[in-house]
Structure 1
Amino acid sequence: MITRRTTRQIHVGAVAVGGNAPIAVQSMTNTMTDDVEATVRQIHELERAGCEIIRVAVPDMAAARALTAIRDRIAIPLIADIHFDARLAVAAMEHGAQGIRINPGNLGGPDKLARVVAAAKQHGVPIRVGVNSGSIEKELLARYGYPTPQRPDALIESALDNVRLLEGHGFFDIKISIKSADVLTTIAGYRLLAERTDYPLHLGVTEAGGLIAGTVKSSVALGILLAEGIGDTFRISLTRDPVEEIRVGFELLRALRIRERGPELISCPTCGRTRIDLFTLADQVERHLQTMRSPLKVAVMGCVVNGPGEAREADIGIAGGHGVGIIFKKGELYRKVAEADLLPVFLEELEKMEAERKAGG
């Protein structure tokens, strides 16, 4: 049983972060933010996958001004990612950002930070203090050295120094992230930070890599931290379609039994008995499951002989054969289907089960 670390609670739009709120799964768009149509289209895809908070890059004033149109067309809170430019931070909030991610120490001095904090107070916008290994102040690097698993102190001190800048302006609606590309440094850093503050923490491994490397690195680091009760929001950073970040994120929460969203997929690794393109079949079923909400156990198996028995606890499953496949429920044969019709018929059965679950409350 995981015992969550007790943190203060803030709100990003309508989403509560920290306290006893569910751990939120975030992502970030990779579109040009001033391309409103492309950005909204990608956010809608992320919403369907379960994304609960979305961050967009705001590199210029055109991107800041686009936030109004974007926010009006999406259902989840919108965070603006700002670097160095206080004017962009203020403009982003004026145009509808419901959260901003900044490094307070690199906005150009106390006066500019004061303007950003005043705007955050006026618009009721929380601030994420975001520090990573590449943005640590020179004096801290000189004192502590570059962050390592043995000594991540520079990350922690940089984050807390920046938090103090906000607190000095009477601002406390804060969450913190400290990111490293190194898994062990990330774990050590967040452990130490969690001991020193009760602000909510956003977890992530920065520049984690592509689908395989990024999933492994993020799952190891974040899985260990979440299992220890550390973390209030997180992002799985992948050099990939951001929808994949959400899929990995919810599977991570499911594996730790922290949260369950939608069906769980069980599938076999294939063997010499497989007579169907199970990889494609499983991928297509998995993509469909991302649009569903019912907590079903769904199996995709490659062998009609052993598959149903091996996935006996599944609510519903599909097993491929040569020219024919079967749909089974709780390990029992439900329906035989021609191989060519197997996928569409199975998806239709899934939709029926989803509708029945919804009708039953």
Structure 2
Amino acid sequence: MKILVTGGAGFIGSAVVRRAMAQGHEVVNLDALTYAACLDNVADVAALHGYIFEKADIRDAATLARIFADHAPDAVLHLAAESHVDRSIDGPGAFIDTNVTGTYHLLEAARAYWLRKDRCETFRFHHVSTDEVFGSLGAEGLFTEETAYAPNSPYSASKAASDHLVRAWGETYGLPVLLSNCSNNYGPYHFPEKLIPVVILNALASKPIPIYGAGENVRDWLYVEDHAEALLTVLQKGTVGRSYNIGGNAEARNIDLVRMICSLLDEMRPAEHPYEKLITYVEDRPGHDARYAIDASRIRDELGWQPSVTLAEGLRRTVRWYLDNTEWWQALQARDGVGQRLGRV
């Protein structure tokens, strides 16, 4: 296939690009190269035959039309989005602009292209979203594909809106759409403002490791390379109009996750004192969801996918990657907002 991947220089998008190329697909990587994007993420495949990069903004309708016409993709994997909850609290407008308006323009460009292709039966538009659109769980229960939407942050609200647009374009215009909602991703190339990289990099710098509130918030953790494999599975085997929840079957409280990372660092890069002594409890995030947990039985039963990397193994791989790739993350330290506490009201 020739796949148009939006946001392919970001964390999850670059994992999809690398995996798609490894499977033998051609990739058109469309990315605006905003603050969280990095072309080094795809350096390993950038020189390969079948890889094309387009610097473009999904809000630019004319450029999108040109890209579809020039490259004639067989499918779209739409990952381009503003994604950091704390940044959405400080500046929600950018999230509405990119995640909602940008998705609208991409849907319209894809629809026009699909109609010119005489409603090609094999074309697919796969929209990648988050479990955060479902809101917050209590101590029990799991998010299913039928869970009602109840977003609690500007970020999750903008993603919920984009999900609804995609569903509507499928129902109203017949565009062959697929949707997926994933749990928290982690792994190599994770931008250093998110929890796991913050813990690793603050520990290495002997800085306080910030824990929001009491650290009791629970997340289901999904290794990014498992997620990339799942997304390509949905794209190629999923039923049009269907949504698929993608999870790692790896729930952990934030405080327990941080302690696991500290223990790995004690082993791999021992310091004078255990890294756990750097843990510092800070003011909680406004509207901080208590728990996310994914029921991924549909993608397992229908498409045969399930996560292959345990949380313990994934964290070990991730910590080792950051220790071995200092040049990558050091180059990002000066980017806007990195290393600062964002998301206060």
- TM-score if structure 1 supplies the norm length? 0.30
Bigger radius of gyration among the two: 1
- TM-score if structure 2 supplies the norm length? 0.31
Greater RCO, CA 8 A, separation 6+: 2
